[in-house]
Chain A
Amino acid sequence: MISIKGLYKQFGQLEVLKGIDLQVEKGNVVVVIGPSGSGKTTMLRCLNVLETPTKGVILIEGQSLDFSKAVPKRSVASFRRLTGMVFQNYNLFPHKTAIENVMEGPVIVKGVDKEVARKRAKVLLEKVGLGDKVSYYPAQLSGGQQQRVGIARALAMEPEVMLFDEPTSALDPELVGEVLKVMKDLAQEGMTMIVVTHEMRFAREVADEVIFMDGGVIVERNKPEEIFTNPIEERTRKFLNMIQ
């Protein structure tokens, strides 16, 4: 289970998150939508501590970090292992092949034996449909393929939660489907996922819950069928009208 309590984030004078409270049950898929600048990406990055929240508490599977106090570096590193992050721009390591990208975390961070890690990485790459591309460098792969390697790389660390930061926004339209399919399969396997996306169809089909954020707060949260057909808040309705 993930629990966020009173999460604030300030960049200089700009307050991006103004008190986020959120619980996500194990195995649930939560899709976060909202206009740009609403704080959804920042919230996701706070969960991975790529941004350090100004204050608030994050609890993932029994481990918690309280940002009201100074947080030691070591607990940040171990906390990060609970979450797997998938970036909008993939951020694959360009000097490593697909399989080396996936092996890197287990070998370097967890100290897994290289050959064991290689076998597991192969299985993961097959799972995302790239069993035949293991020794390709990122530059030799399409955007969709790179993003699938990115997903495999995050999965290799066996995280409790997968975080997706607009994983299909940088892709050509015809490549979006292959990435969404991998994500859908993951959801069906029972992976806990928080997904920031503009793919409303994915939200409808896969999400257990949809969260609408605006101005640094959660405006509305509900089951997808409810929020898309019957939004309660005026702001949610306006946003949905704009994008549909």
Chain B
Amino acid sequence: MKMYLNSIFADPERTARLVDIAKTSLQPLLEGAVMNTIPLSIISFIIGLILAVLTAIARISQVKFFQIIARIYVSAIRGTPLLVQLFIIFYGLPNIGLTIDPFISAVIGFSLSVGAYASEIIRAAILSIPKGQWEAGYSIGMSYTQALKRIILPQAARVSLPPLSNSFISLVKDTSLASVVLVTEMFRRAQEITAANYEFLLVYSEAALIYWVICFFLSVIQGFLEKRLERYVS
């Protein structure tokens, strides 16, 4: 550490070079974030959430078949590394003639992952809503689906917001794994830059900082959403 700092500050030429690299890297890194990291996160999270709600509903359904399918899905995704899943989708599937574009491969991998983890969050949230809420819905003539949609899920959404925000923030960082399936998201951009100039510490730290800034804004949004959803709980 000390040596590194000394090497920077003792040598004004090197300082200038580093400042220059930091400046010129910023644009490609941000480009990677805006063009790939952020869209990849948002698209995967939306698809993942839909999968998660369906999986959670399957888990609590009375139909054994749905329960089993949902259990196997969650178990398989949670039981295998995300990196391995991405490799199977992108490098593995072409062996059976299924070649998928890098970005799409990443979306598939991340959506499946979010779907499995978030389904447990949503299932727990649904189960945390008192039974009386279902009964009140039934008592005014609602069907199971109506009660679920109008009464239970909106309340479950409030309960699951903090853990889901957590999942989303994790996902933003996990998208760096997409670099290994050739998606030119932010971290892959960082790797490309360092390949030319060998300033690993500087450029990777710069990328890390941008991840941090993105996640900071997400936390702010989470706080705002929580306030909005809690307005009816005094």
Contact = CB atoms under 8 A, between A and B. Distances in A.
A109 B139 CA distance: 11
Contacts of B140: 84, 104-105, 109, 153-154, 156-157
Contact of B141 (A80, A87, A97): A80
A91 interface: yes
**What interface size band does chain B fall in?**
20 to 34
Contact of A139 (B136, B141, B158, B233): B233
B227 to A, nearest CB: 15
Of the candidates A89, A104, A108, A137, the one having the most CB atoms from chain B within 10 angstroms of its own CB is: A108
Q: Which 7 residue pairs across A and B have the least CB separation, nearest first?
A: A105-B140, A91-B136, A85-B139, A137-B232, A91-B132, A109-B141, A139-B234
Contacts of B128: none
A87 B143 contact: no
A87 B142 CA distance: 16
B138 A94 contact: no
13 contacts: A50-B139, A81-B141, A83-B139, A87-B132, A91-B130, A93-B133, A94-B233, A95-B158, A104-B140, A105-B142, A137-B232, A154-B139, A156-B140
Given A89-B132, A108-B150, A80 B138 contact: yes
A7 interface: no
Contacts of B234: 137, 139-140
A120 to B, nearest CB: 14
Interface of B: 130, 132-133, 135-136, 138-143, 146, 150-151, 154-155, 158, 231-234
Contacts, number: 72
Contacts of A109: 140-142, 146
A91 B141 contact: no
A80 B155 contact: no
A48 interface: yes
Contacts of B232: 94-97, 137-139
Contacts of A153: 136, 140
Interface in A92-113: 92-97, 104-105, 108-110
B188 to A, nearest CB: 43
Given A91-B132, A110-B141, 15 more contacts: A48-B138, A50-B135, A77-B141, A80-B139, A85-B135, A85-B136, A87-B135, A89-B132, A97-B232, A105-B141, A105-B142, A108-B146, A137-B231, A156-B140, A157-B141
Contacts of B146: 108-109
